[in-house]
Structure 1
Amino acid sequence: MTTVALVALGVAALAPLALAAPRSPHWVSQWATPSVVLAALATAAIAGSTTTPVTGFALGATLVLCAAAATTGGAPLVLAAFRIARRQSDAGTDPRPDAGPLRGGRVIGLLERAAVAAAILAGWPEGIAVVLAVKSLARYPELREPHASEQFIIGTFTSVLWAIAVCGVGRALIT
């Protein structure tokens, strides 16, 4: 079952890269990618719950795959969360997922999820507070623009929750 969990983590890490190709249909990047990523994490969690703690190569693979899945897998989920929030609040807003007052969010999100994953996998959950504090201070001047605080909170919470969920699966495999 360890192999199944590791393969599922690999799928969660690679699906956003493979399914977000420029030639893929629009619905694939919008809804299929987040669905595949969530299903892969659920599979890894179920398979990982029935295994013994990993050692050796499997330990290293678990750490690498958790960091990769936490970093890349959160992007489609953040975009889906933005689409859901946009449908519920402002029906007439710009339909593009990256439209909004906060620029550079994709790169910042990747770095944020990588830092959260590193903190959790290193056994230092306090690092999440450091990451969020640094991000909040850096974005503070931009948060006064219309819809900026909403975009900031939705993106940050989705990213952090995804990274925590992935690393929780990884910690279950390790311990």
Structure 2
Amino acid sequence: MALMILLGALSVALASIGGWPVTALVLRASKSPTHVRSADERGIPLLEAPSGEPRAGAELLRGGLWIGLLERAAVAGCVLAGRPELLALVIALKGLGRYPELKAHEGAAERFLVGTFASILWAVLAGLLGWAAIAFLA
């Protein structure tokens, strides 16, 4: 039993921490934007720029590292628990939490989708590996 718990914990750790460089690599390869462009850079006259627009060069989708770590741990946990339907809840919570940023900033939705898909795929793989190892021992 202790070995199964250890395998589960290792699977969640692999999903959470191991997904960070994988997701960063995929985002870099996709060349998705990383910073907010100014209204002028987007061709919007200054009189039409959205109110409350962040300064140009501000990081797009801040907090993604911590959100990603927690998201991957939750996804792997859902897979290990045999409750893949709970993945919909994890994805919905992330999308709802990011919705204002996704709507307000050009390029945010693309970065969000690419990063989320890479992150979730990695976490599902790690969860499945842990699940298979536990099933093998059972």
Length-normalised TM-score, structure 2: 0.75
Partner of 2:10 in structure 1? 65
Deviation at 1:57, TM superposition (A): 3.1
Q: Which moved more, 1:129-138 or 1:99-108?
A: 99-108
Looking at structure 1, the residues matched to 71 and 5 of structure 2 have their Cα atoms a distance apart, in angstroms, of 22
Q: Does 1:77 align with 2:34?
A: no
1:100 deviates by 4.2
Which of 131, 134, 152 aligns to 2:112? It is 152
d(CA) in 1 for partners of 2:134 and 2:27? 33
What pairs with 1:100-111 in structure 2 (closer than 5 Å)? Answer: 100-111=59-70
Residue in 2 that maps onto 1:172: 132
| Distance in 2, Cα, partners of 1:100 & 1:156 | 17
Q: As a proportion of its length, which structure holds more helix?
A: 1
Query: Using a 3 Å threshold, how does the CA distance of structure 1 residues 109 and 161 change in structure 2: closer, same or farther?
Result: same
Is 1:163 equivalent to 2:123 in the alignment?
yes
Contact preservation (8 Å) 1:119, 1:128 = yes
Following superposition, the deviation at residue 118 of structure 1 comes to 1.2
Read off the aligned partner of 1:68 and give its amino acid letter.
A
Of structures 1 and 2, the one with the larger relative CO (CA 8 A, separation 6+) is: 2
Alignment of 1:109-120 (within 5 A): 109-120=68-79
**Contact 1:102-1:148 within 8 A present in 2 as well:** yes
Counterpart-to-counterpart distance in 1, 2:127 and 2:80:
6
Give me the TM-score of the superposition, normalised by structure 1.
0.60
How far apart in 1 are the matches of 2:133 and 2:107?
Answer: 39
> Is contact 1:100-1:151 (8 Å) kept?
no
| Residue aligned with 2:82, SS | coil
